[in-house]
A = this chain, B = another copy of it.
Amino acid sequence: MAAWSERLAGVRGVLLDISGVLHDSGEGGGVPIPGSVEALARLKRSQLKVRFCTNESQKSRGDLVGLLRHMGFDISEGEVTAPAPATCLILKERGLRPHLLIHDGIRSEFAQIDTSNPNCVVIADAGESFSYQNMNKAFQVLMELDNPVLISLGKGRYYKETSGLMLDVGAYTKALEYACGIKAEVVGKPAPGYFQSALQEMGVESHETVRRCWQAKIEET
């Protein structure tokens, strides 16, 4: 098996996903994926820059990082690119006041955002809060706007929890897109702008090649 040094020749930094890479989410925060704590520690000891790039939109960055640190991961809040803070920047830049269709666990991220008299809808992985009533309210807000803006925190189809597969925000975004005849703006992977801001925050130029290397820890064994 090739050594890390060969496999990572020319690589300046590593963007790591969190759910499904560091841990499998689920009841009580989920469980670490075997070997991930050690792999991350090894990356941090290397010359590589490391940053985390997640579409997590049920938990605030603080709560997520707290959970991961409790599992033994060497991670801090400032190292995480997450869609809710990125969305807040966009809302402020464009003077948008969102109706929030989100999980209560992430509501604190929007504490500084004006949500009065909404002129857009922000949808995230709301989980159990994806009730018919909540979906219909978001739909009605969009239908009342002359220029309906729907911002979706990621477009995942589903994710894996310890209890099984779970519908992700992308499915519900498709429902609203179809009902309203509109196209959502995605903040999160795989939007190129989202990766670019993560690279900027890591201090790596976006013209440098981005390679997927988080499988290295598995292949190395």
Contact of A136 among B139, B166, B181 (CB under 8 A): B166
Q: Which residues from B are CB-within-8-Å of A181?
A: 157
A179 & B171 in contact (Cβ 8 Å cutoff):
yes
Interface residue tally for chain A (C-beta within 8 Å): 31
Encode A119-131 as 1/0 by CB contact (under 8 A) with B: 0000000111111
Contact of A167 among B128, B139, B166, B168 (CB under 8 A): B139
B178 & A171 in contact (Cβ 8 Å cutoff):
yes
Q: Which residues from B are CB-within-8-Å of A180?
A: 157
Q: A172 interface residue, CB < 8 Å from B?
A: yes
Q: A140 interface residue, CB < 8 Å from B?
A: yes
Chain B residue nearest in CB terms to A129: B132
Q: Which residues from B are CB-within-8-Å of A132?
A: 126-131, 167
Q: Which residues from B are CB-within-8-Å of A143?
A: 158, 165
The docked-state distance in angstroms from the alpha carbon of A139 to that of B161 is 14
Q: What is the minimal beta-carbon distance from A103 to any residue of chain B, in angstroms?
A: 11
- With A130-B132, A132-B128 as given contacts, are A165 and B178 in contact (CB-CB < 8 Å)? no
Q: A16 interface residue, CB < 8 Å from B?
A: no
A176 & B171 in contact (Cβ 8 Å cutoff):
yes
Q: A170 interface residue, CB < 8 Å from B?
A: yes
Q: A213 interface residue, CB < 8 Å from B?
A: no
Chain B residue nearest in CB terms to A172: B175
Q: A97 interface residue, CB < 8 Å from B?
A: no
Contact of A157 among B164, B166, B179 (CB under 8 A): B179
Contact of A179 among B130, B164, B170, B179 (CB under 8 A): B170
Residue pairs across A and B with Cβ atoms less than 8 A apart, 26 shown, are: A128-B131, A128-B132, A128-B133, A129-B132, A130-B132, A130-B135, A132-B167, A135-B167, A135-B171, A136-B166, A139-B158, A139-B165, A140-B165, A143-B158, A157-B179, A157-B181, A158-B179, A167-B175, A168-B179, A170-B179, A171-B179, A172-B175, A174-B174, A174-B175, A174-B177, A175-B175
